Amino acid sequence: MKFFELLKKAGYENEGLQIPDFEVADIASDIGKVGENSVFVAVKGASFDGNSVIETAFEKGAGAVFTEYPKGRKSEIAVDNAREANAKLCRAFFGAPFGLKTIAVTGTNGKTTVTTAIYLALDNCGIKSGLIGTIEYRIGESSIPAKFTTPEAYDFFSLLRRMRDSGCAFASIEASSQALVQRRVYGEVFDIAVFTNLSVDHLDYHGDMESYYSAKKLLFSSAKKAVINIDDKYGKRLSRELDGDVVTFSVCEEADYNAEGITHSVEGTKFVLKGKYFKESVSFPISGDFSVYNAAMAAITLIESGFEPRKAAEMVSSITGIKGRNERIISKEEAGFTVIRDFAHTAEALDSFLSSVRKNFKNRMIVLFGAAGDRDPSKRADMSKVVAEYADFTVVTSDNPRTENEEKIIAELCEPLEKLGAKYIAEKDREKAIKTAMDLCGEGDMLLLCGKGHEDYQVFDGYTVYFDERKIARDYLKEGYNEKDRN
C-alpha cells in the first residue's frame, strides 16, 4: 500500500506534507520492528517512550514517523494521540473494513466465558468464526497462543484480516479495560458490544472504580448495538447513559430479556430465556447463578446478531464445556474425590464460583487459592473472607507473584483466615500445594483449584515458567495410583 493511500484510509490528509510517497512495508510502534519503508508511531508507554528513538527509526529506514511531540524533522507527522494514530494506521494497513460480524465483550468477570460460548455455539453449527481472548486466539480451527486478553493494535487488526481471508463470518472478542484505554481496538466499529458486570479489579492500573468504569464505557462509543446486564449496578448506569440501540437483560427486574425457571445441578445450569415474543429453554455445562448471566448474554447476542431465538438457544445448549472455567480435571470415579479448576481470582468471582459449588455439594470442600502480585492488594482480604465462608479447609499458595514478595502476599491472605478461625495451611510452592491438597482429600471430597484456570504458566520476577495445573494434578494422581499398586 502506498503511503498517501494509507493516510487517506486512516483519515489523515497528505496536503502540505514534505514526504514523498512510498510503498509502506509495515507499521511499527516497537523500534525493534522498524525496517526499510516502515511507518513508525512513537508511543509513550509506562516504561519506555518511543519518542526517544525517533532518530533511530529514521536510521533504520522508516519512511515516516507519527509523534505527539514534533520537532520539525523531515518525514515527521504530528498527531494529538499516538495510540489512536497507531490503531487507525494498523486498521487501514490491514485492509479494513473486514466484512466480519464483530462482537466485543467487556466486564470484570465473564468475558472469556461469553466470548468462548459465542465462538463454540457458532462453531458447533458449522459457522466459521474467530476468537480473540484470554485463553487463546482462534481463526476457525487454528489456535494461536494469547499473549494478552486483547492484543496490541497491530496484532488485533492483523487477526481480523486473517479471519476475513480464511472465510470467517464472525469475530468474538474480549475487550479488556487496559486495551480500551490504550486504544488497541480504536477505529473498529463493533456490531455488538456486551457488558457483563463490574467489580473491584485492576485498580492498580485504573486507580479507582470511576476510572475503571469509564474505561469499560469506551467500548460502547464505537458499537452499533449494546447488550447489557442491568442486574449489575454499573450495567444499569451504562444502559441509562448510552444513546442508541441498547438491549437489556435481567434476572431480577423487567428488561428486554429475562431468565426464569432457573435450576442448578452438578451437571450444569438450566433456565428459560424470555423475550418479548418467545420463551426458549437453555442449558449450560457450568453450574451457578453466574452461568445464567454468561449463557444468557451469549444467547441474546446471537439473537441480536440475527439468529432465531430457538436456534440461538440450541446453539448455546450445544456447548459441552469451557477450558479453565469450572473444569473437572479429576473425577470422583477416578480418584474417590473430585478436582475442579477455575479462573476465579477476585472476591466476586470466588463468591460466584464457590457458592454455586456449595449449593450442589454437601461433602467436604477444600479450596486452594492465591493472589496475583503487582495487582491491586486491596482485594486480597475480601478474597480470603469469601474462601473462609465456603471452604471446609483452605490451602493458601502462590499465584503469579511477579515482582512482589510471595511470603508477603500469602501473609496478607492468611491474616483474615486466622481472624475468622478458618482451617488452613500455607505452602508457597504451588505445585507442592496442589499435591498436599490432593493428599488431604478423602472419599467424596472436592478440591477446587482457584485463580489460574486455563493458564499454563506462572509469572515470577523477570521470568515465566511452564505450569499446567491439570497436568500436575493428573500426573500426581497417576503417581499415587502407581505407589498404591507397588504397596
- pLDDT at position 421 is 96
Between residues 74 and 468, the one the model is more confident about: 468
Return the closest-CA partner of residue 107 out of 283, 292, 233. Answer: 233
- pLDDT at position 202 is 67
What rounded mean pLDDT belongs to the chain? Answer: 94
Mean pLDDT to the nearest integer, 269-275: 97
- Percent of the chain topping pLDDT 70: 98
Between residues 277 and 200, the one the model is more confident about: 277
Lowest-pLDDT range of 171-185, 200-214, 313-327, 394-408: 200-214
Residue 124 φ/ψ, nearest 5 degrees: -65, -25
pLDDT of 21 over the 50 cut: yes
Residue 2 φ/ψ, nearest 5 degrees: -75, 150
pLDDT digits 0-9 by tens, 58-85: 999 999 999 999 998 889 999 999 999 9
pLDDT digits 0-9 by tens, 368-396: 999 999 988 988 999 999 999 999 999 99
Question: What domains, with CATH codes, occur in the chain?
Answer: 3-93 (3.40.1390.10), 101-317 (3.40.1190.10), 327-486 (3.90.190.20)
Mean pLDDT to the nearest integer, 111-129: 96
Lowest-pLDDT range of 184-198, 290-304, 325-339: 325-339
Question: Grid coordinates standing for 200?
Answer: 473491584
- 37 exposed, middle or buried (CB, 10 Å; 0-12, 13-18, 19+)? middle
Mean pLDDT to the nearest integer, 423-449: 96
pLDDT of 483 over the 50 cut: no
Find the radius of gyration of the CA atoms of the chain. Answer: 24
The neighbour count for residue 150, using CB atoms within 10 Å, is: 25
**Which residues contact residue 116 at a Cβ distance below 8 angstroms, ignoring those fewer than 6 apart?**
131, 133, 135, 172, 322, 323, 325
- pLDDT at position 200 is 67
Q: How confident is the model at residue 352 (pLDDT cuts 50, 70, 90)?
A: confident
pLDDT of 87 over the 70 cut: yes
- pLDDT at position 127 is 98
- pLDDT at position 487 is 38
pLDDT of 485 over the 50 cut: no
- pLDDT at position 26 is 97
